[in-house]
Amino acid sequence: MFKAALTSSKQARAGVRWRVPVAVVAGVVLLAIPLYADRFWLNLGSFAFAAAIGAVGLMILVGRVGQLSLAHSFFLAVGAYGYIWLSSPATEESWGLGLPSLAAAVVAVALAGLAGLAFSPLAGRLKGIYLGVASLALVFIGQHVLFTAEPLTGGYNGRNVPELSIGSFQVFGVEPELSLFGVPLRQAERGWYVTLLILALTTVFAVLVLRSRVGRAFAAIRDGEVHAAALGVRVARYRSVAFTLSSVYAGLAGVLLALLFERVVPEYWDLFLSLEYLAMVVIGGQASVAGAIAGAAFVSSLPLLLQRYSDAIPGMGGAVSNFGPAYVAQILYGGMIVLILFYEPKGLAALATRARKALTPRRPVAADRTPAA
Amino acid sequence: MTAPGARLQVSDVTVRFAGVTALSGVTFTAEPGTIHAVIGPNGAGKSSLFNVLSGIYKPAEGSVRVDGSELIGLAPHRVTALGVGRAFQNASMFAGLTVEENLLLGRHRLGRGGVFAAGLRLPYARRSEREARAKVREVAEFLGVDHLLALPAAELPYGEAKRVDIARALATEPRLLLLDEPAAGMHTHEKVEVRDTIRRIAAERQITVLLVEHDMGLVMGISEQVTVLDFGQVVTTGPPGRVTSDEAVIAAYLGRAGAAQKARSESQPPS
């Protein structure tokens, strides 16, 4: 037992040694990619970064507090349609407030948070799978509203997403012209940098929250709510705090996805989208921030990659359309979830730990003989 | 640094579950700064009593006062705020956290800072966190578990987990400490350590200790007062010497026949 304990504190030290150089290298590579990659890869990345923000939010709720939510797509939709409604000018057949787009984006994220807060009487009292079932109702209500409230959502045909601009600077557009090392920064490049920056900021925020007394209260509720309460943790309050926080992250991801899509249709924000986000969290290892981001990258880019390379994959290309990339992607990550739950419940996060261990030079055996006490 | 121990007054506490009476009119007082034990056979109601005292069960009748403040009806986190700390029977650690984080949870109520303060590293939240870590280290040193702080709690051996559990309860800065079978499942030398630890808590920090324990050697060795429960009722309360010779206590532990036999052997002159 002491030996196991020693090994793990050694692992922790090894982790710290590796973390800084790995982060620096990853950061440089991520910043340099738009200088070399084409539109396809940049769009793939932007979608992955936006999705990762939503996945981190769901991970906090599912992995750290032990709650289940199937309503993540609902809060993504609140962000997306909130932004469209707030920033579009009103016309005869559609509603809009015509706010400046940056203000609209901020208020839309706040709206998603308010929607999460409004659900807190349930989110605070219900536990685990019971909350999952209750949250299902939100998805169905959301879908019904999205299809029927035509002035708000445009109904089946969807609605255009107004551009996000700060003054005359188009955040996801081309004006004014910018370039970096001679490479023009147009839509795709800007999309990559902006979503990456927001992902980085929200990730740091999430990590700081999870390391604080709030994050410890979350984990205590997950590992033993009665004991957490007996130590002075207000269980219901922290459950609803986590739910609200996760809906803010979903709202932000929803705004960014809408801006990247440029036009959104109701059927995108359905139960299946919630399940995709759960898949990201599970594949990532459930309780890891980095894992949730990796899971989001995997789940959101797989269908796009399959689409692009479908001609090169036997049986997928050509006229046989009922075996399309989206369908194959679902089967692939469905299979992956089964494999992960069976063999590596800590998901991609655990694979990274293993790789680090394999790469860390072993210390001499004598180090293991240090007295434990 | 610590507030002096609290007086615990339990009066007429009755707990019923679907027709079964778990506690019936339980009354006793634990004096400030003393070690007070609650003993009794399995099913006597000791755990129910502890759950009432930490706000988990609401009794049908009765009152529990900590230095005069009514505890019944308060949510568990308010009971903690009243100065009641609890160590658990099975020393359950929060398995996904380190030992230090487990101890920091004991400081949760005394800390400051919500989501925004933490995520934006606001100065007052960072100061609160620094203070919490310093206090946790101090409590860990007091109980000799400071070398374990960096370990994942799930890796702790049982005996160490019991000590960390007591440290976590102490980190809440209680005036009344509830210890639920602190020596259960321990070796003889570990029991000696537990006994010394409890004595030091009462002596050096003047915290009132309410102890539920099966090990009679331990209970009789350290308690100033002992309350005996049987079938949810108080059989007697008194100093250990008087309690061990009480007929009703012997009856509760050995059964009526045992008591009758003992009485017979004492009343008959040796032939």
A76-103 pLDDT per residue, tens: 999 999 999 999 988 888 888 888 999 9
As a whole-number percent, the residues of chain A with pLDDT over 70 amount to 89
* Chain B residue whose CA is closest to A8: B151
- Cβ contact, residue pair A5, B155, below 8 Å: yes
User: Which of A222, A241, A373 shows the shortest C-beta gap to B115?
Assistant: A241
Q: How confident is the model at residue A8 (pLDDT cuts 50, 70, 90)?
A: very low
Structural domain total, chain B = 2
Whether the per-residue pLDDT at A56 is higher than 90: the answer is: yes
Cα nearest neighbour of A371 on chain B = B147
CATH of the domain at B68: 3.40.50.300
**Do B157 and A219 lie within an 8 Å CB cutoff?**
no
Q: What percent of chain A has a predicted confidence (pLDDT) above 90?
A: 51
Contact A111, A252 (CB under 8 A): no
- What is the per-residue pLDDT across B166-222, written as a single tens digit (0 to 9) for each? 999 999 999 999 999 888 888 888 888 889 999 999 988 899 999 998 888 888 889
Q: Over 80: is that where the pLDDT of B260 sits?
A: no
Query: B103 and B89 share a domain?
Result: no
Instruction: Judge if B80 and B13 occupy the same domain.
Output: yes
Would you say residue B46 lies in a domain?
yes
What single-letter amino acid sits at A201? L
B2 lies in a domain?
no
Let me know: does A356 contact A350? Beta carbons within 8 Å.
no
Does B84 share its domain with B207?
yes
Domain boundaries, chain A: 2-369
Residues of chain B with C-beta less than 8 angstroms from the C-beta of A234: 75, 77
Residue-level pLDDT at A372: 41
For residue B67, the distance in angstroms to the closest alpha carbon of chain A comes to 19
ipTM of the complex: 0.84
Please report the pLDDT score of residue B184 as a whole number. 84
Residue B248 in this model has a pLDDT that exceeds 90: no
Q: How far is A307 from chain B (nearest CA, A)?
A: 39
With beta carbons under 8 A apart, name residues in chain B contacting A220: 94, 97, 105, 108
> B132 and B213 share a domain?
no
**Where does a domain end: B155, B174, B198?**
B155
Does residue B28 lie in a domain region? yes
Search chain B and give the residue with CA nearest A244. Answer: B115
Contact across the interface for A231 and B172, Cβ inside 8 Å: yes
* Pairwise CA distance, residues B239 & B242, whole Å: 6
Contact A231, B105 (CB under 8 A): yes
Q: Residue A363 pLDDT > 60, yes or no?
A: no
Tell me the per-residue pLDDT of A238-261, one tens digit each, with 9 for 90 and over: 999 999 999 999 999 999 999 999
Confidence of residue A16 (pLDDT cuts 50, 70, 90): low
Last residue of a domain, one of B113, B135, B155: B155
Q: Residue A3: closest CA among chain B residues belongs to which residue?
A: B155
Q: Do B80 and A232 touch (CB under 8 A)?
A: yes
The distance of B218 to chain A (nearest Cα, Å) reads 26
A80 near A333, Cβ under 8 Å?
A: no
Short-list B107, B106, B52, CA closest to B74:
B52
Banded pLDDT at A314 (limits 50, 70, 90): low
- A12/B119 Cβ within 8 A: no
- Whether residues B263 and B129 share a domain: the answer is no
Distances (CA, A) of B201 to B194, B212, B216: 11, 16, 20
Q: What is the band of A317 on the pLDDT scale with cuts at 50, 70, 90?
A: low
Q: Tell me how many degrees the CA angle B182-B184-B189 measures, rounded to the nearest 5.
A: 85
Mean pLDDT, chain B, as a whole number? 87
Q: CA-to-CA distance for A70 and A243, rounded, in angstroms?
A: 12
User: Would you say A188 and A46 are in contact if contact means Cβ atoms under 8 Å apart?
Assistant: yes
Q: Work out the average pLDDT over B62-81.
A: 91
Domain, as residue range, for B107: 96-155
Same domain, B74 and B199: yes
Question: Range with the lowest mean pLDDT among A103-117, A220-234, A302-316, B38-52?
Answer: A302-316
In a domain, B71, yes or no: yes
Average pLDDT of chain A to the nearest whole number:
86
Strand partners, B233: B230
Q: Measured between CA atoms, how close is A356 to chain B, in angstroms? A: 19
Domain contains B259: yes
Testing the interface with B: which of A65, A213, A246 to mutate, by most B Cβ within 10 A?
A213
pLDDT at res. A331: 85
Judge: B125–A4 Cβ closer than 8 Å, yes or no. no
Shared-domain flag, residues B51 and B167? yes
- Do B173 and B219 fall within a single domain? yes
A2-369: what fold?
ABC transporter involved in vitamin B12 uptake, BtuC (1.10.3470)
Residues of chain A with C-beta less than 8 angstroms from the C-beta of B76: 226, 229-230, 232
Residue A275 pLDDT > 70: yes
What is the b/e burial string over A321-331, where b = at least 16 CB atoms within 10 angstroms of the residue's CB?
A: eeeebeebbbe
pLDDT at A280 over 90: yes
- The residue among B82, B115, B124, B160 with the most chain A CBs within 10 A of its CB, best to mutate, is B115
The pLDDT score that the predictor gives to residue A371 is: 42
Residue B1 is predicted with a pLDDT of 41
How many CB pairs below 8 A link A and B? Answer: 113
Cβ-Cβ contacts under 8 Å, B93 against chain A:
223
The pLDDT score that the predictor gives to residue A201 is 96
Residues of A with CB under 8 A from a CB of B: 1, 4-5, 8-9, 12, 205-206, 208-209, 211-217, 219-220, 222-224, 226-234, 241, 245, 287, 372-373
The DSSP H or E segment spanning B208 is strand B208-212
Q: Supply the pLDDT for residue B17.
A: 87
Buried/exposed code over A32-48 (b: 16+ C-beta within 10 A; e: otherwise): ebbeebeeebbbbbbbb
Q: Answer yes or no: is B1 within a domain.
A: no
C-beta atoms of A219 and B101 within 8 A = yes
Q: Which residue did the predictor score with more confidence, B211 or A17?
A: B211
Residue of B56, B103, B105, B131 to mutate, interface with A, max A Cβ within 10 Å: B105
Pairing of strands B208-212, B35-39: parallel
Q: Pick the range with the lowest mean pLDDT from A271-280, B2-11, B179-188.
A: B2-11
Structure tokens at A330: 């679902």
- B3 is a domain residue: no
